[in-house]
Amino acid sequence: MQKIYFDNNVARRLMDDPKSWNAIYDQLATRIGRRFQTVQSMYLFLEYLGFRKKQIAITPELMKVELSTAASFMSSDDLAQEIDDILEPNLKQINMEVKQQLSTLQSVFENLIKERNARTTLWAGSIQLIKALFGDFLNTVHDHYELFVEDLTRALVWDFLCCIESKGISNNLLRERQIGYWYQLHNGGHSLPMGKLIDDIHKYFKMDFSSFLKNKEDMVDSEMLTYAVLGQLENEKRIPIVCLTFDSSDTISERLKLALGCLNSFEETLGCNIAARPGWIYCLNSSDCQIVEVHEPLRSIFL
């Protein structure tokens, strides 16, 4: 069964407008069949509720890597080891601080869900869509909050890790560690977005093009690109994902170039091939929800 990732602009539209759902569903039924599943995204869930990362306070010193004055005289291997010696305990502490704060916020999330339901036009289709998009998260918030905290902690810690800055050293060495962390979780089946690494990676690797990726705290845009380029691991098999967005075709084209360039650079940094099963991004017309362009993220786009 085909899996679909809804960009936040499409998800909001579908919840509020029954006609939009009918128009999009009819086209999906023609292209991929009438039975499909949605990808449940923690980042999309946070946007849906209006929960912001800034509501979690992290000790500022943990968000930077600053080496000793002797670093300029170190070999590359010793320098890498010193970065690891700083980054690993920082990451553990960030994980602990995030989890401790989230553990006290169950009532906050329950209230956000109630407030969001009050603002949503609830009809049969929107109720079904909300369940398909966020059913697992909604259930764990109410009944197994500790499991929700585990999933949300992983998502937020990755977001924080992407924002860690280096001081007095090349950003390349820090990026290599961030990419290595991403790759370890990627192989374990956790589909973390390339995230804010995408926002500046073209400078890091001297890529010769620009992108309109948002420089904001949310991860939904880059998560959609990650699914489109890499697919999703399911039952030890990587499957392609269909992504739906109202973003313009030109914007998606530029973003895909950047995402594919990042994938190539990740592989160069890691010295290995990253398992990928490219899918498709359907660009929809915002006025009538018709599919105007289908992008397939093939490596030849970047080359």
Q: What is the dihedral of CA 222, 227, 230, 235, to 10 degrees?
A: 140
Residues 123-149 have a mean pLDDT of 89
Region of poorest pLDDT, from 153-162, 231-240, 292-301: 292-301
**What's the rounded mean pLDDT across residues 200-211?**
49
Q: Are 101 and 57 in contact (CB under 8 A)?
A: yes
Rounded to the nearest 5°, which phi and psi values hold at 99?
-65, -40
| Segments making up each domain of the chain, as ranges | 2-61+74-302
Q: In whole angstroms, what is the distance from residue 158 CA to residue 46 CA? A: 14
| Residue 233, helix vs strand vs coil | strand
pLDDT, tens only, 263-303: 888 888 888 999 889 999 999 999 999 999 999 987 655 44
CB under 8 Å to 43, separation ≥6 — which residues? 155, 193, 218, 219, 220, 223
C-alpha span between 154 and 109 (Å, rounded): 17
Q: pLDDT per residue over 12-40, tens digit each?
A: 888 878 778 888 988 988 999 888 899 99
- Runs of H (alpha helix) within the chain: 8-16, 18-32, 42-49, 76-102, 106-119, 124-143, 145-163, 171-187, 196-204, 220-230, 249-270, 299-302
For the entire predicted model, the pTM comes to 0.86
pLDDT at 86: 82
8 A C-beta contact, residue 29 and residue 293: no
Q: How does pLDDT run across 62-116, given as a tens digit for each residue?
A: 988 876 655 555 666 777 777 788 888 999 999 999 999 999 999 999 999 999 8
**Token digits of residue 6:** 């809804």
Residues 58 and 78: their CA atoms lie apart, in Å, by: 28
Per-residue pLDDT at 299: 66
Element at 65 (helix H, strand E): strand 64-66
Q: What is the pLDDT of residues 163-189, one digit of tens each?
A: 887 776 666 777 888 888 888 888 888
